[in-house]
Structure formats: structure tokens, C-alpha cells
Amino acid sequence: MMSLKKIINLCFFPLITLAVVHVAAYAADNKSADDDRRTASRAPNARDLMESTAPGYSTPAGLVSECLGRLVFDVKPEIEWPTWYDGDFGFDFSKSFSRNVFNPGDEIKIGNVKIAVIGPLTDTISSSLSAALPKNDLRDQLARLKKDELAFSENSKKKTGDRKALYAQSKLEDSIQETKNYIKEIQDKYQPFEPGLPDSEGYWYSKTEPGNEIYSVFRTNLKRGKYIYVFESTELLSKKLDKEAHRRNFLKFLASFRTRTKHEIPHELGICIPAGFIRDDGKSNIDIKQSLRWNDAPGVLYSIHTGNVEPGRFKSPAVEAAASAAIGMLGSMEEERVKPFVTKRIGPHASRIGALTAQQGGVALTVKGKTGTPYEAYSVFTGYSGWLGSVVLPYILIEMSTRTLDQAPELKKNPPPFQQSMDRLEILLKSTRLRATAPTMPELAATSETKGP
């Protein structure tokens, strides 16, 4: 019999294989006029831009606004962003809420810079992040080498022929050599980098990719209040861009960063990140996916994925929506086992993100936990594909998904009933809109005077 965990994982991680099998016909028969016009050669007009701002919308009582990328949306005040860090778990730029509660692909990328927001800080987190910096790692390794060399020297003076002592001395000698090799690697590979900002540390290194292309990498940690912000910029070295030019570009980027208080909505041009803001000219290429959750329902994640539409990463919301609604319908043996648990299907159908036409699909199922108490697990996808070549009209993909006690014991409780979470999702969908700025983005300002067809 299929386990509860396998049923839930099959339903919700990930859906792309379902899309390939099931939804080609749906996508062909139901390709919306909205998708057609966004891929057309013409630029968006005033009507298109007006839709993106959700004209006439006002934040209801009891809600507050938050922002991500170039978007703004309304939520209950008690929300959390994924900023968890555990040095033993390993570090990358895809953050999570805890060891088992995360959304694959949660990441912030602006141009060639990846960003991680880590906190709230504790002494353990600060020490772990600091120790990972090459200069501090080098300091610790030199101290370790000195300690081991002293122990080796003291043991040699004893001149014991005991087998265990000789073996321990041999292992110590191997450890000393490994430490020396590692120290040389740190010294050869990493160079210190001064970000020129208070409470900041950084370093530089290069890496060679297949094809012998050499990339320059600058990385820095900025400590601001209860968070550490990690920035990593990677650029291909060429005749037109050397290490020094890359350094200047990165310093300019870092200077554009500032912290942002919870629920602060900036009015200047730029890009929102959790607890932070990057000023720009409205033209930066972004690809941001971040989840948020209400603190009274820690097993329900609301993921927002947004960015510029480019030929290489054009989104197909109709396909993803159909795939999300198709769980338990594809005819395979595993699908047949899932089908009895499915209690509700959502779409696929047309929906709205603010005033924008979107596609939506999803599924809810009822299962019994280890205690025998039934609960609901669910996943709902809603997507707007954006406008190819426009910095003003990004793609907007919003997904609600659940994590359960079986998947993540640290949650302490299973997700609330589907309808409660769906009501919160509807708030998020209805309120998501382009953030108003002054001055407006160049593309928006240039187009706002034109008349649409």
C-alpha cells in the first residue's frame, strides 16, 4: 500500500511531468487571447499598463501591503519570509523556513547578482556565517595547523613504540598535510574584497566553466539590524570586462541597496526583496521566486515567482494550471492510487491576478495522518505569462501548496482546511499589482500617453 508521504509527494512535487503527458491538447485548444497578444511584436499600450496596476483597488481593512520584485500585494500582518539558515544544513541562495519546509527554486536574482536574506540573527548564525568567510576560515585553519604541529612535536619526543601511538602519530601527520593543502587552496583561490560599507565583509575568486570560460565572482555579507544580506555577483571575464570593471559594477550595485521595514512600500524605482530594497532605473532584469506564509498556518506556502519575460524563459500558465488540476487523472498505477484521496479539483480555468487575465488549476485531497485524524493537503497554481520584451509587465506565477506533519515534523500541526487557505490565496491574487513609483518606469512613462487599440 502506498504510504501517506508518497501520496502527498506524488501529488505536489513537481508537476512538470504531468504537464508533458496531459495538457498539450488543452494548451492548444485554450490558448488565451491574452497570451497571443503578449507575444506579439507590438509594445504594451496604455490599456495593458493600466490593467497591471489594478485600477480602483484599495487595501481592505485588516490587511497590510507587502512587495516583491516590482509587485505589491495585500496580506494579513502576520506573515513570514523564508530566511532560515543552518550552517550544518549547508548554504545556498535558495532559502527556507526550516529544514523540511521550503519551496524548490526560491531564489532572488537581479541581473547577475544572487541575494540571500538570513535572519533573524542569533550568535550561532552570525558565527557560522562569519566562519565561512575565507579570511576567517584561513585563520581557523592556521590555528588548527599550529595546534596539530605542536601535538606532533610533543608526541615525537616521547619516542614510544606502542602501535596505537604510532598509528595516532601517522594520522596526525596526514591531518597536518591535509590542512596545509587546504590553507594553500584558500590562499591561492580567494582574495579579500572591501565592499566599502559599514558592517560588511567580502571576497573575490574566479572559476572556470566548461569551454574554458573564466568567470569573476564577488561575494559579500552585509549585516543590517537583525539580518545578514548575502550578495554574489558573477560575470564572464572578457576583453570588454575585466576584474576591476566587475568590481566597480558590484560596488555600484551594493550602494543601491537599503533595508526595508516590514510592510514598507517604497515609492521610488527599484526592486523589493524581503526586508530590503534595490534602487534601479526600472530596467534591471530580474528573476525572483519567494514563498511567504501566515504564522498561524506554517504548513501552507504561498509562492510568488516574477521576472522579465525572455525568449529562453517564457512561462506557460495554461500548461501549468492544467497540470496542477490533472493529478489523479492520468491513468498510471500511481495516479489510480491517488484518485480516491482527491476531494476537489480547481479548474483549469481562467482566473485573475489583480486585473490581469490568468490561468488557474489545482487539487485538494483528504488523507489520514498517523493519528488517524483526516486532514486536507492541496496545491493551487495561478499564472499570468507577462509580456515578452517588457520590463513593465513581468510574468506573475502564484502557487499555494502544503507541507504536512508527515513531511515536516517541526510544523507541530497539519494544514488548515482547504477553504481557509483558498480564501487567503484569493486575497493575494486579487490584490497583486504593479507597484506605483515616482518617477514611473521609462517604458511605462513612454507608453502611458499612447492610445491602445
Residue 222's closest CA among 116, 143, 319?
116
Q: What pLDDT is recorded for position 255?
A: 97
20 has pLDDT over 70: no
Q: Lowest mean pLDDT: which of 118-127, 252-261, 271-280, 310-319?
A: 310-319
More confident position, 5 or 333: 333
CA dist 352 → 248, 317, 357, 360, 399 (Å): 42, 12, 5, 8, 13
Residues 170 and 80 in one domain: no
Cis amide bond preceding 439, omega within 30: yes
309 has pLDDT over 50: yes
Residues 350 and 440 in one domain: yes
Mean pLDDT of the chain, nearest integer: 86
The pTM is what? 0.88
Q: Lowest mean pLDDT: which of 1-10, 120-129, 358-367?
A: 1-10
Residues 368 and 441 in one domain: yes
Q: What pLDDT is recorded for position 419?
A: 96
The three-state DSSP-derived secondary structure of the chain is CCCHHHHHHHHHCCCHHHHHHHCHHHHHHCCCHHHHHHCCCCCCCHHHHHHHCCCCCCCCCCCEEEEEECEEEEECCCEECCCECCCCCCCCCCCECCCCCCCCCCEEEECCEEEEEECCCCHHHHHHHHHCCHHHHHHHHHHHHHHHHHHHHHHHHHCCCCHHHHHHHHHHHHHHHHHHHHHHHHHHHCEEECCCCCCEEEEEEEEEECCCEEEEEEEEEEEECCEEEEEEEEEECCCCCCHHHHHHHHHHHHHCEEECCCCCCCCCCEEEECCEEEECCCCCCEEEEEEEEECCCCCEEEEEEEECCCHHHCCCHHHHHHHHHCCCCCCCHHHHHHHHHEEEEEEEEEEEECCEEEEEEEEEEEEECCCCCEEEEEEEEEEECCCCCCCCCCEEEEEEEECCCCCCHHHCCCCCCHHHHHHHHHHHHHHCEECCCCCCCHHHHHHCCCCCC
Q: What pLDDT is recorded for position 47?
A: 83
Q: What pLDDT is recorded for position 35?
A: 54
d(CA 103, CA 33): 31
Q: What pLDDT is recorded for position 334?
A: 65
The stretch 17-25 carries a mean pLDDT of: 39
Q: Show Cβ contacts of residue 33 under 8 Å, excluding neighbours closer than 6 positions.
A: none
Q: What pLDDT is recorded for position 452?
A: 37
Residues 92 and 143 in one domain: no
Q: What pLDDT is recorded for position 241?
A: 93
d(CA 382, CA 425): 10
Q: What pLDDT is recorded for position 338?
A: 77
414 has pLDDT over 50: yes
pLDDT, tens digit, for every residue of 177-234?
A: 999 999 999 999 999 999 999 999 999 999 998 888 999 999 999 999 999 999 999 9
Residues 35 and 89 in one domain: yes
32 has pLDDT over 60: no
Using CA atoms of 343, 345, 346, 349 in order, give the dihedral in degrees to the nearest 10: -160
| Domain-located, residue 174 | yes
24 has pLDDT over 70: no
Q: What pLDDT is recorded for position 13?
A: 47
pLDDT, tens digit, for every residue of 119-178?
A: 999 998 888 898 889 999 999 999 999 999 999 998 888 766 688 888 888 999 999 999
Backbone angles phi, psi at 113, to 5 degrees: -110, 125
44 has pLDDT over 90: no
Please report which confidence band the pLDDT of residue 312 belongs to, taking 50, 70 and 90 as the band edges. Answer: confident
Which residue range is the domain that position 174 belongs to?
Answer: 127-189
The 71-75 sheet, strands edge to edge: 64-68, 71-75, 433-434
* Of 143, 162, 189, the domain-final residue: 189
14 has pLDDT over 60: no
| Domain-located, residue 234 | no
Residues 165 and 39 in one domain: no
* Of 168, 189, 210, the domain-final residue: 189
Residues 299 and 153 in one domain: no
More confident position, 314 or 135: 135
Q: Show Cβ contacts of residue 442 under 8 Å, excluding neighbours closer than 6 positions.
A: 281, 282, 283
Q: Lowest mean pLDDT: which of 24-33, 335-344, 411-420, 436-445?
A: 24-33
| Domain-located, residue 200 | no
* Of 146, 173, 189, the domain-final residue: 189
Q: What pLDDT is recorded for position 370?
A: 73
CA dist 79 → 100, 107, 353, 390 (Å): 18, 18, 20, 30
Residues 182 and 305 in one domain: no
Residues 309 and 396 in one domain: yes
The total number of structural domains in the chain stands at 2
Q: What pLDDT is recorded for position 373?
A: 84
More confident position, 49 or 217: 217
pLDDT, tens digit, for every residue of 275-299?
A: 999 999 999 999 999 999 999 999 9
More confident position, 310 or 330: 310
d(CA 91, CA 114): 13
| Domain-located, residue 51 | yes
* Cα 73 off chain centre by: 18
Q: What pLDDT is recorded for position 2?
A: 43
377 has pLDDT over 70: yes
| Domain-located, residue 276 | no
22 has pLDDT over 70: no
| Domain-located, residue 119 | no
CA dist 188 → 120, 183, 237, 411, 422 (Å): 34, 9, 19, 44, 54
| Domain-located, residue 136 | yes
Q: What pLDDT is recorded for position 392?
A: 83
Quote the Cα angle for 147-148-154, to 5°.
Answer: 95
Residues 99 and 26 in one domain: yes
| Domain-located, residue 453 | no
Residues 309 and 342 in one domain: yes
333 has pLDDT over 50: yes
Q: What pLDDT is recorded for position 442?
A: 76
Q: What pLDDT is recorded for position 448?
A: 52
Q: What pLDDT is recorded for position 155?
A: 83
Residues 138 and 69 in one domain: no
